[in-house]
Structures are given as C-alpha cells and as structure tokens.
Chain A
Amino acid sequence: MAVPVHFETSIPSNTADGLAVQEKIVSLMEQFKYSDRDVFAMRLSLEEGITNAIRHGNKFSADKQVEIQCSIDEFRMRVVVQDQGEGFEPEAVPDPTTEEFIERPCGRGLLLMRAYLNFCEYSDGGRRLTMERQRNSDLPVID
C-alpha cells in the first residue's frame, strides 16, 4: 500500500510554473493508480484553480507567489492554492450558463471545479482555494 504523500511549494505568478506543478500532482495520481476519470477531473480543476490564482489573484505580478499544498493517499486528493491578491467574492461570480452570460469567453472555471470536485471552497476572502476529490468519485453528474 502506497504511503501518503504531502508536499508544499511556492511558485512565481506565471502559468508555465503552474503547469509544472500540475504535472507533478498528476504524476503522483498515476503513482497511486487513480483512474483516468479522476486524473481528468483533477487536471482540469488544477488548471482552473492555479490559473485563477495567477491571473485574477496575483495578476501575474512578479513580486507575488502562489503557494500550493498537495496531499494524496489511496482514498483522496486534496490541494490548497493560496494567492497574494486582493481576493474576490465567489458568490458574486455570475452563472455562466445563463442566457445573459453563456456567450462570454470567460468565467467558467469555478463552475467546472464545482462540477468535478467533491469539495471546492474559497476562504481568506477568496485568496485561498481548497480542492478535494475522492478516488473513483461519481462526479461530474451530467444532466
């Protein structure tokens, strides 16, 4: 049985470094033999969560970092993403599936994370995102 793994890292506010952390986490999921479905869900969620922190949180600022904590065991994945931006109110983000916003080119990240994760919560005024997915989760549920 694989021993649980935990790591923490701090990256500059650019998406290339964000992608490298994603790859490291996906590699851990593969070591723990998570399903392709779980890997797809986490890769998508990590992309949205980390990119949001870099783009909307830190606004690509060279003097700000994104801290990422990752814990994985045979039952679940948990990732915390902390930025150093001004924060935001998740409830104020409009529903991108409504007629008014459906054709907007952005604003779907939060919707996707909520669809694929068993737990997805912003805290610290919108600067801290906690993501969790259980192994072999049934999510997403498609209408």
Chain B
Amino acid sequence: MATKSDRRIDIEDIDGVTVARLLEKKILDEANIESLGQEMFALVDKDGRTKIVLDFSLVEYLSSAALGKLITMHKKVSTAGGKLTLCNIQKDILDVFKITKLDRVLTLCSDLDDALSKF
C-alpha cells in the first residue's frame, strides 16, 4: 500500500466528485507511470468512484506512456457509467493533447470550477 510520501495523487471529495491532483511534476519515468496508473485505476476498480476530475496543475512534463494510462482511465470510468474530466493543464502539456488529438477524446477543462461544472 502506498504511503503518503510515495503517493502519486492526492484525493479530495467535492460535492460527490472525486478530485485527484497529480503530484508528480514529471510523469516520464516508467515506474512512476505504472504506479500512477495503479493509483488512478484503484479509484474506479477498488473504490467504485465514477465522477472524477484529474487536476494537472503541478504537472510540467508527461510522456506518451502517461497518455496511455489516461486513455485506459477514461475507458474504465466510461465503462462504469461515469465521467472523467481533466483540468488546470499547462500550455505545453495541452499542446501534447492537441497533437495527439486526445483533446477530442478526453474532456479537458480550463480550471477546477469548469471541470466540476461538467457533472
């Protein structure tokens, strides 16, 4: 079980919506990405959460492997009948979503209020 110091996400509940803030600045390293994926997937598979916001405010870099985890997360939440939104994405990271056209698959929001308004 992840201790507080090696957690990749910080969880907060706001009006029935789970806000998961990603704590890593660089989501690049293979081991980190794997751990992040496990923590995110557990929100759905283990905790049964289906209304989830991923807050990217701290994230400065991410790789295509991290994008893969986000897509898998999106599918998990959709399959469970829920909704996933992403918010507070820095400009450089937003470009990555646009280049890969994942901005058409994932729901990207400007800030947390915008993300919460989607539920």
Assess whether A108 is interfacial by the CB under 8 Å rule. yes
Interface digits, A91-113 against B, CB 8 Å rule (1 contact, 0 not)?
Answer: 00000110000111111110110
Complex CA–CA separation, A22 to B68 (angstroms): 21
CB distance from A27 to the nearest CB of B (A): 14
Number of A interface residues, CB 8 Å?
28
Contacts of A105 in B (CB 8 A): 67-69, 71-72
- Tell me if B63 and A16 are in contact (CB < 8 A): no
Contacts of A106 in B (CB 8 A): 64-65, 68
Assess whether B61 is interfacial by the CB under 8 Å rule. yes
Complex CA–CA separation, A16 to B29 (angstroms): 7
Q: Which of A15, A16, A43, A97 contacts B100 (CB 8 A)?
A: A97
**Which residue in chain B gives the minimum CB-CB distance to A109?**
B64
- Tell me if A115 and B105 are in contact (CB < 8 A): no
Assess whether B46 is interfacial by the CB under 8 Å rule. no
Complex CA–CA separation, A19 to B33 (angstroms): 13
- Tell me if B75 and A103 are in contact (CB < 8 A): yes
**Which residue in chain A gives the minimum CB-CB distance to B28?**
A47
Q: Chain A contact residues: over half helix, strand or loop, or mixed?
A: helix
Q: Chain B contact residues: over half helix, strand or loop, or mixed?
A: helix
Complex CA–CA separation, A79 to B71 (angstroms): 30
A44-B96 contact in complex given A51-B63, A103-B71, A108-B67, C-beta closer than 8 Å: yes
Contacts of B104 in A (CB 8 A): 102
Assess whether A140 is interfacial by the CB under 8 Å rule. yes
Interface digits, B81-107 against A, CB 8 Å rule (1 contact, 0 not)?
Answer: 000000000001001101111101100
Could you write out 23 A-B pairs with CB less than 8 Å apart?
Answer: A15-B29, A16-B31, A36-B92, A37-B92, A44-B61, A44-B96, A47-B63, A48-B64, A51-B30, A97-B100, A102-B102, A103-B71, A105-B67, A105-B69, A105-B71, A108-B64, A108-B68, A108-B100, A109-B63, A109-B64, A111-B100, A142-B95, A143-B98
- List residues of B whose CB falls within 8 A of some A CB: 28-31, 61, 63-65, 67-69, 71-72, 75, 92, 95-96, 98-102, 104-105
